[in-house]
Amino acid sequence: MQLTEIYSHPLKSGRGNALNAAEIGPMGLAFDRHWMLVDGMGKFITGRAFPRMVLIETQPDAASACFSAPGCEPLQVNVVDFTERLATNVWNYQFDAWAGSDEADFWFSDFLGIQCRLVYIGAQSERKLRIQPDIPMSFADGYPLLLIGEASLADLNGRLAQPVTMRHFRPNLVISTDVPFIEDQWQRLRIGQVEFELVKPCTRCIFTTVDPASGVAALDEQPLRTLNDYRLLSMGTCFGMNMLARTQGIVRLGDSVTLLA
């Protein structure tokens, strides 16, 4: 098995960046989901309610981020300007993040047609992984990393009238597999020199119906409707595996994947 795709999503619900290599740390991929939009009360906003968010592209580094979207001039922000502590959430996780750019708030509000603010996770995240509080978390839904096997997508597409792409499911790491959903049975693996623990299947929602190319949700609710028919497990409809990085390092396309447990 090999690592065949790498994606980072610097803005939660924004477009994913396809990478040739990525640094892996406790929070997952470098810069992955370090930015997020919130409403006027600080509540998190996602593409579930605002599908056009998937059209927003982000190019981040340690000091700044550049955002672009159709019909908009690019927006450059600097992390040093995000000095306003703001109470926010991701689902039922309550924690503080950082706001402070009026220009960014206006830019995103204008693009989405709603009042919203841009927030930054901070140089040191105040959010922690619930099952292991010594691990810092980004704005990801529940775990730092998401893995999907190619055979799982192929199996799903064999059941659909219109195939979907891996981008519909917003994984971080994609690996070559021969057996659909074989990743459900794994506990630990190594990609290149980095070791990972597979924690639990990833439950899926209406966001999977949003076309990542157009930002429009499918009226027939595919592929979620088909997944509901045959991938309904005890915790919900699942596709992909949530993971933790147990060591740090760089992964690259073509790295070998070794099953450890």
Which residues neighbour 9 within 8 Å (Cβ) at sequence distance 6 or greater? 15, 16, 17, 32, 33, 170
Partnered with residue 189 across adjacent β-strands are: 196, 259
Instruction: Kindly report, residue by residue over 23-79, the tens digit of the pLDDT.
Output: 999 999 999 999 999 998 999 999 999 999 999 999 999 999 999 999 999 999 999
Instruction: Kindly report, residue by residue over 167-176, the tens digit of the pLDDT.
Output: 999 999 999 9
Instruction: Kindly report, residue by residue over 90-119, the tens digit of the pLDDT.
Output: 999 999 999 999 999 999 999 999 999 999
Instruction: Using pLDDT thresholds of 50, 70 and 90, give the confidence band for residue 261.
Output: confident
Alpha helices in 122-192 (DSSP H): 150-157
Strands 145-149 and 173-175: parallel
DSSP letter (8 states) at residue 20: S
Instruction: Kindly report, residue by residue over 188-244, the tens digit of the pLDDT.
Output: 999 999 999 999 999 999 999 999 999 999 999 999 999 999 999 988 999 999 999
- Give the per-residue pLDDT at 134: 87
- Give the per-residue pLDDT at 145: 98
The more confident residue out of 17 and 123 is: 17
Average pLDDT, the chain: 96
Cα–Cα distance between 98 and 104 in angstroms, integer? Answer: 13
Predicted model pTM? 0.94
Partnered with residue 194 across adjacent β-strands are: 191
Tokens encoding 10: 């610097």
Which domains does the chain show, CATH number per domain?
3-13+19-25+141-259 (2.40.33.20), 34-126 (no CATH)
Instruction: Using pLDDT thresholds of 50, 70 and 90, give the confidence band for residue 257.
Output: very high
DSSP letter (8 states) at residue 72: S
Kindly tell me if the per-residue pLDDT of 130 is higher than 90: no
Q: In angstroms, what CA-CA distances link 6 with 30, 141, 146, 175, 250?
A: 12, 18, 10, 9, 11
Kindly tell me if the per-residue pLDDT of 132 is higher than 90: no
Locus of tokens 């959430």: 89
Q: How many CB atoms lie within 10 A of CB 49?
A: 13
- Give burial (CB, 10 Å; 0-12/13-18/19+) of 192: middle
